[in-house]
Chain A
Amino acid sequence: MCLGIPGRVERRFEADGAPMGTVDFGGVRKDVCLAYVPELQVGDWTIVHVGFALTRLDEASAKETLAMMRSVGMLDSELGTA
């Protein structure tokens, strides 16, 4: 719950007045609130905590982190897809 997962913004939209994005976490997609990092654009990488983007991240380190989390099974437990 607490770790935060890197993902890539695939699409932006609005819901109830808040900026939202569909974020791809290495194959799993979720709708995420972008209100805390409104400058995020499609194609940007970000760290997401429980459905909220909290910071931008460069692509290389995002991919590394994703690979590490997948290899040790952390991805599923953080995404609630286990």
Chain B
Amino acid sequence: MKYLDEFADPVVARRLLNDIAATVTRPWALMEVCGGQTHTIIRNGIDQLLPDGVEMIHGPGCPVCVTPLETIDRALAIAARPEVIFCSFGDMLRVPGSSDDLFRVKSRGGDVRVVYSPLDAVRIAQANPGKQVVFFGIGFETTAPANAMTVLLADRLGLANFSLLVSHVLVPPAITAIMDSPTRRVQGFLAAGHVCTVMGMSEYQPLVERYQVPIVVTGFEPLDVLEGIRRVLVQLEQGRAELDNAYPRAVSREGNPEARKVVADVFTVTDRNWRGIGAIPNSGWRLADRWAGYDAEQRFDVTGIVTAESEHCRSGEVLQGLIKPVQCEAFGVECTPRNPLGAPMVSSEGACAAYYQFRRLQAAAS
């Protein structure tokens, strides 16, 4: 067990692994939804420590990876305008659009700024009244309360030069899409802990019942992930399908009511195209109509976007759990974090980036 001493508490890790080994009598396929969990699994070799036949399928929970190509191209067009200061989380800078990325727009003189928090973008708008400041509001339910608050704050401050390019995605509809897919193999889910910190757990009960699939809310640290896996496997072996919380220190049933209220005020549910996956009904948030004045899509009339994905990139299959990144021929050859062909090679949550960071040598050796 080569990785075991890298766990915070190797004794607890070994106990959990022994429990898992004693529980499992046949093969199971589990999906971790969150890209942070994917990185933990690959970094700590959790998939290799599990009993033979227990497979971890990596889910689409990397917001950077699933932001639609059309939206990336739109962002690039807006960011290139001379009157615009374009603010984004750092992860987005190298995400490939059809023929460009934000990093290159910046190097050609575009005012593209990496911010830690969307609040920083509001401050930049305050400080630059002569410029249009656009924030690229992407992410799952975890970043939505922050992004939503910028609109309320800009409104309170009367900022006419601030807008949001919104492309939020939601976890429960993604689980629905995975379970409705004809290629589905997933028998149990680790739900993303911090998504539930915001939203609570109530949205998952109907999914458990409808698909008779165990869903366990799980954190992203190595021991958390092991415990989540153990709880899913115990349910599967006992023929149960329940909603469980393996991350109670950060997740309560009701989530964060204040955050949910603001998000419900500012955003409204919309169909969303997931990059590499396709359209999923009711799977995103856009700005609610009453906040349309802050919508960068409406403020900047970008027309003529023609999207083109890389021909070699198999990110769609990676994001749907159909192949592992190392099965993509471009992996580590034409496609590296410095020169990514697809978004999953970019982000600190992308599956291809995780395999590149932690499995490259192993893949080459095998």
Contact = CB atoms under 8 A, between A and B. Distances in A.
Interface in A8-50: 16-18, 30, 32-33, 35-38, 47, 49-50
Contacts of A67: 8
Interface in B232-268: 249-252, 256, 258-259, 262
B194 interface: yes
A37 to B, nearest CB: 7
Contacts of A80: 90, 114-116
Contacts of B120: 51
Contacts of A38: 258
Given A51-B118, A51-B120, A64 B153 contact: no
Contacts of B342: none
Contacts of B198: 54
Given A2-B142, A58-B249, A47 B43 contact: no
Nearest to A82: B90
B119 interface: yes
Contact of A49 (B91, B115, B194): B194
B194 A54 contact: yes
B339 to A, nearest CB: 19
Q: How large is the interface on B (under 10, 10 to 19, 20 to 34, 35 or more residues)?
A: 35 or more
Contact of B143 (A16, A32, A50, A57): A50
B35 interface: yes
B142 to A, nearest CB: 5
Contacts of B149: 18, 33, 35, 52
B355 to A, nearest CB: 16
A17 B117 contact: no
B40 to A, nearest CB: 9
A54 B197 contact: yes
Interface string A43-73: 0000101111011011001001101100010
Contacts of B28: none
A1 B116 CA distance: 8
Contact of A52 (B146, B221, B348): B146
Contact of B256 (A36, A72, A79): A36
A58 B156 CA distance: 34
Given A1-B139, A68-B8, A16 B156 contact: yes
A32 B118 CA distance: 11
A51 B250 contact: no
Contact of A2 (B140, B252, B258): B140
A8 B146 CA distance: 19
B89 interface: yes
Given A16-B156, A72-B43, A50 B117 contact: yes
A74 B249 CA distance: 20
A54 to B, nearest CB: 5
Contacts of B145: 36, 49, 52, 54
Contacts of B36: 2-3
Nearest to B34: A2
Interface of A: 1-4, 16-18, 30, 32-33, 35-38, 47, 49-52, 54-55, 57-58, 61, 64-65, 67-68, 72, 74, 77-80
7 contacts: A1-B63, A1-B139, A3-B220, A16-B157, A47-B197, A50-B139, A54-B142
